[in-house]
Amino acid sequence: MLATAENGVERSKDAPYNGKTFLVTGANSGVGYGIVQRLLEQALEPNSEDVVIVMACRSRPKAEAARQKLLEESQTVADAKVSQRRRSVKPEMLQILIVDLASMQSVFAACEEFQRRFSRLDALLLNAGILPCSHINIRRGVKNLLTRPSYVAKTGGDFFSQYLGDVTADGLGTVFAANVFGHYVMVKQLLSTLSRSPSSRVLWFSSTTADPSFFNPADFQCLKGDHPYESSKRLCELLAVQMHSELRDRGIYSYVVSPGNCFTGLLDQGWFISFAWLTVLYLMRLMYISGCNVTPKNGATSAVHLASEVRDPSDLKESILYHSEISPLGHKSVRHLPLEVAADDLTGMKTVRKELDVMYQRFREEALRNGIIKS
């Protein structure tokens, strides 16, 4: 038997990974890392089934460092709980897949590689995301706090200004490409693999700040609008709802999750703002304010629940935002928040979907011409 050292893991070439398979985008940091931590902890419980967790990341050095850290952390936990007869940590449980979601040819290549290396996909967690924060707009935030409290309750106050109009080398809006379209292509390319597992799940990541007012179907890439992050998250919600009804007959269930407020690299604005944000998050949590999970591992609650704890996903509703919650004393739960999706939103989405599919076909033909995919 031939052995390969693909992604640092020795394995037999004719032995595909057969365990229950999770694919997590943006798994090297933040909420994605927290999700992998928790899935790995579950996989080491006594009597748990075999799993493979695929960490889809854009930087190989970051992915390898994260994978190594996760394996060491799990080994430390396993050593400390040796009396509980937990399963042993196996390096092949954690796999790396390199993908830059803002580059469509990279997405096609990654999906092709995934299908070559893995025979099934039980949960696709579309976690990776960017929030291109240019600066903190304290004046606007405070003004909103004083004059528009209901808007602040919905959007978080709009304290952060974003870089606008950025496009990728593919000519797509950067935030739209990384947060939505790269993931959309991934879902389309992996449908046949998803449909091989009974009741597989596709989880789209949104935020309570994704107010419908930030999304304009006529500018779905948000090249003209001033809230590209919120617009992208709203589009994820609408796609999840729309795709749920298209795919459930194939045993594929599409839902929306939110990690709540977590202290991650998403808002990287230097040590002072980071320290202030962390303090505010802990204070808000003590005041019972919803969704102040603080750590990304706590923020992973809703995604891990839907990906691996819910046995029958057909019991869930696509019109819900599954939101990670934590009490001041650390009790974790999933809150069901209604998604605002009106009939008009879904009508508008029909046109958006047509345009997304035209773009998908164009990039797919390019991938075929470049020999990245075969059919």
Ligand X SMILES: NC(=O)c1ccc[n+]([C@@H]2O[C@H](COP(=O)([O-])OP(=O)(O)OC[C@H]3O[C@@H](n4cnc5c(N)ncnc54)[C@H](OP(=O)(O)O)[C@@H]3O)[C@@H](O)[C@H]2O)c1
Q: Report the residue number, 19 or 294, with the smaller CB distance to ligand X.
A: 294
Scanning the structure block, which residue is given the tokens 């997590």?
A: 24
Please, what is the minimum distance in Å from the beta carbon of residue 205 to ligand X?
A: 4
How far apart, in whole angstroms, are the C-alpha atoms of residue 90 and residue 281? 36
**Would you tell me which residues interact with ligand X (CB under 6 A)?**
25-26, 28-32, 58-59, 62, 99-102, 127-130, 178, 205, 207, 258-259, 261-262, 264-266, 296
How far apart, in whole angstroms, are the C-alpha atoms of residue 251 and residue 323? 23
Q: Report the residue number, 29 or 189, with the smaller CB distance to ligand X.
A: 29
Q: Report the residue number, 99 or 359, with the smaller CB distance to ligand X.
A: 99
Q: Report the residue number, 58 or 86, with the smaller CB distance to ligand X.
A: 58
Please, what is the minimum distance in Å from the beta carbon of residue 66 to ligand X?
A: 8
Please, what is the minimum distance in Å from the beta carbon of residue 279 to ligand X?
A: 15
DSSP, collapsed to helix, strand or coil, labels residue 232 as: helix
Cα separations in angstroms, 179 against 31, 91, 251: 14, 29, 25
Residue 100: CB atoms within 10 A of its CB come to 19
Q: Report the residue number, 69 or 354, with the smaller CB distance to ligand X.
A: 69
Q: Report the residue number, 241 or 281, with the smaller CB distance to ligand X.
A: 281
Half-sphere exposure of 365 (CA within 13 A, CB side): 5
Please, what is the minimum distance in Å from the beta carbon of residue 296 to ligand X?
A: 6
How far apart, in whole angstroms, are the C-alpha atoms of residue 326 and residue 206? 18
Closest residue to ligand X, based on beta-carbon distance: 30
Please, what is the minimum distance in Å from the beta carbon of residue 313 to ligand X?
A: 20
Please, what is the minimum distance in Å from the beta carbon of residue 245 to ligand X?
A: 23
Instruction: Supply 232's token pair.
Output: 């992208």
Q: Which of 245, 337, 330 is nearest to 295 (CA)?
A: 330
Q: Which residues, 6 or more positions from 37, have their beta carbon under 8 angstroms from its beta carbon?
A: 70, 73, 297, 300
Q: Where are the alpha helices (DSSP H) in 148-269?
A: 149-155, 174-176, 182-194, 228-247
Please, what is the minimum distance in Å from the beta carbon of residue 207 to ligand X?
A: 3
Q: Report the residue number, 21 or 28, with the smaller CB distance to ligand X.
A: 28
Residue 92: CB atoms within 10 A of its CB come to 14
